[in-house]
Structure 1
Amino acid sequence: MTQDNRTPDETRRVRMREVGPRDGFQNEPETIGTADKIRLINALGRAGFTRIEVASFVRPDVIPQLADGVEVLKGIDLPDEVERMVLIPNSKGLDNALKVRDLFEAATLFVSASQTHNRKNINRTVEETMADVKVMGERVTAEGLKFCAVIATSFGCPYEGKVSMDRVLDLAEEFAGAGATEIGFGDTTGMANPAYVSRFFTAARERLPRVELTAHFHNTRGQGLANAYAALEAGCTSFESSFGELGGCPVPAGSTGNIATEDLVSMFHEMGVETGLDLEKIIEAARAAQGTLGRKLTSHSIVAGPVHWDLAAS
């Protein structure tokens, strides 16, 4: 473990984005009612998030769970400081998104680092996707939207195995050249390990010094928090997670959820890392999601709650 010799004035701070309303909900087999989605997103807004991924403009027949994205965007009531983000798969999706431009502030464009996953996910080659990204990036920027990017399978592909770090960072540089100011690196099926994550973010910071780098880990093999810690120690200060540990990749089967937001925030708080979030309110939202879905969710903090040192010492 790295020795932390910081003074109180040097407290570390991270920026968190909640992705459960999009990345989490999309994997649920039973339809979640629009009113329930709105209620849960509003609860997350009260927990102090300033960034929430709310909806997707993927075709409804591909992900029916997110077909009510526009209704959700219109129905939510979030504090003014909350940045509402939407996921956009292609130019047609962007056309639809821009029809309701006033309902969100940030747009995410994405690609998989591996050809096989990209084809299975969006039925395109990586090259075809990136050609579209260049066109979409200009449109997103012209609209005054924040242009974010996500590179899936950044730490390994379930079909191709190892993914070259240089390939991922080359794609990241293409996104930056197209105007992206934030790039997320997705451990889409939970194949990362802390040692590689440390090397990866060290290299990424060197190659992309003017871009916000975001870590997005899944807990498929139980290494999510360890990977987040490794990213933090390598200088990453932006993270995505999903309340209740909801989510997972639609392809392939067996890819379980993202890191639970409440578990990640709990770890950061116990380490003295500031998030600006109210952990108890996040846990309340996760427990509400558990009730809405009618099944137990897999985050630890739903069961254990936050650490109360005053009670532990009594």
Structure 2
Amino acid sequence: MNQEIKLVECPRDAMQGMHHFIDTNVKANYLNLLLQVGFDTIDFGSFVSPKAIPQLRDTAEVLAQLDLSSTKTKLLAIVANLKGVEAAVQHQEIDYLGFPFSISETFQQRNTNSSITQSLDTVSQMLEHCDRAAKKAVVYLSMGFGNPYGDDWSIEILEQRASELVASGVEILSLSDTTGISTPSQIAEVLPYMQRLFPNTEVGLHLHTTPSESDEKIRAAFESGCKRFDSALKGYGGCPMASDALTGNMATERVLSYLNTQQKGPALNLSKWEEAMAMSSTVFGKG
């Protein structure tokens, strides 16, 4: 794996908005393939209310079926409250806990049923649990490029919230474009700005997009010095808490294509990659 760039594969994000329930064994088989490909991290599941995200109610059962004996890939699980944190840290196999922290008050309430102020407290408690359980926290700055709810957005607001999180002990931030509204020029402005402000913090990108806009956003991200990038095979998925009309994830194959043209492509197990690409059509029910 290219140590310069960490690729985070996000089957959790790809699955969570699917209306038909994907069988637990199918999920586990797909994840076991992805674990053999060579990604830095797999965002594999979440410990949230099954009423909120019914698709992922079997995350613990899926985890029990994963073969981690011959992979260096790390596992990340999303949590939305302290109950989820307490459940996730019980699993030794999980390396990272991810928390969606929105700079939009409207979306924070919609996504986690809590205010920004309450969520800052949750993050502080999550960090304490992570320290005790030898895990790391990844905090997603959701609505990091703007929002459709009319809440104020500015780079100064983003900086304020990021500063609060870093001060509390967060070491990994991921700028998240939950509704796919970022532009290449905005990515090229915001990412380097945040990297300069927080040189000791790992700052990544979790972008949603339409296929027609993805290539230019990928180029803007890596030309701006991105070292941590989230994506999902074939661009499946999106955030069901943001909209019924899902804006998909970045397609992993497009990310890899760009990196390969720049001679920065990671060393992946291509046969397992091809198997995973083929299986994804079965998992998600479309080609």
* TM-score between the two structures when normalised by the length of structure 1: 0.85
What corresponds to 1:92 in structure 2?
83
What corresponds to 1:309 in structure 2?
none
Amino acid of the structure 2 residue aligned with 1:96: A
Tell me how far 1:30 sits from its aligned partner: 0.6
**Distance (Å, rounded) in 1 between the aligned partners of 2:146 and 2:270:** 31
Alignment length (residue pairs): 284
1:57 has 2:47 as partner: yes
**Distance (Å, rounded) in 1 between the aligned partners of 2:111 and 2:3:** 36
**Distance (Å, rounded) in 2 between the aligned partners of 1:199 and 1:280:** 37
The Cα offsets for residues 134-158 of structure 1, whole Å up to 9 and x where unpaired, read as: 1221221222101211111101112
- What is the correspondence of 1:135-174 to structure 2 with a 5 Å cutoff? 135-160=125-150, 163-174=153-164
What corresponds to 1:193 in structure 2?
183
Give the 4+ runs in structure 1 shifted more than 4 A.
none
1:127 has 2:117 as partner: yes
1:41 has 2:67 as partner: no
- Compared CA separation, residues 38 and 275, structure 1 to 2 (3 A): same
- Compared CA separation, residues 91 and 263, structure 1 to 2 (3 A): same
The Cα offsets for residues 65-106 of structure 1, whole Å up to 9 and x where unpaired, read as: 000000111101133411111111111111222233x12111
What corresponds to 1:71 in structure 2?
61
1:235 has 2:232 as partner: no
User: What secondary structure, in the 3-state scheme, does the structure 2 residue paired with 1:223 have?
Assistant: helix
Amino acid of the structure 1 residue aligned with 2:25: A
**Distance (Å, rounded) in 1 between the aligned partners of 2:90 and 2:159:** 33
Tell me how far 1:216 sits from its aligned partner: 1.0
- What is the correspondence of 1:17-28 to structure 2 with a 5 Å cutoff? 17-20=8-11, 22-28=12-18
In the alignment, structure 2 segments of 5+ residues that lack a partner are none
- What is the correspondence of 1:250-289 to structure 2 with a 5 Å cutoff? 250=240, 251-278=242-269, 281-289=272-280
User: What secondary structure, in the 3-state scheme, does the structure 2 residue paired with 1:184 have?
Assistant: strand
In the alignment, structure 1 segments of 5+ residues that lack a partner are 1-10, 297-314
Higher-Rg member (1/2)? 1
* TM-score between the two structures when normalised by the length of structure 2: 0.93
- Compared CA separation, residues 162 and 261, structure 1 to 2 (3 A): farther
Could you tell me whether the CA contact under 8 Å between 1:262 and 1:283 is conserved in 2?
Answer: no
Which of 205, 210, 223 is matched with 1:215 structurally?
Answer: 205
User: What secondary structure, in the 3-state scheme, does the structure 2 residue paired with 1:156 have?
Assistant: coil
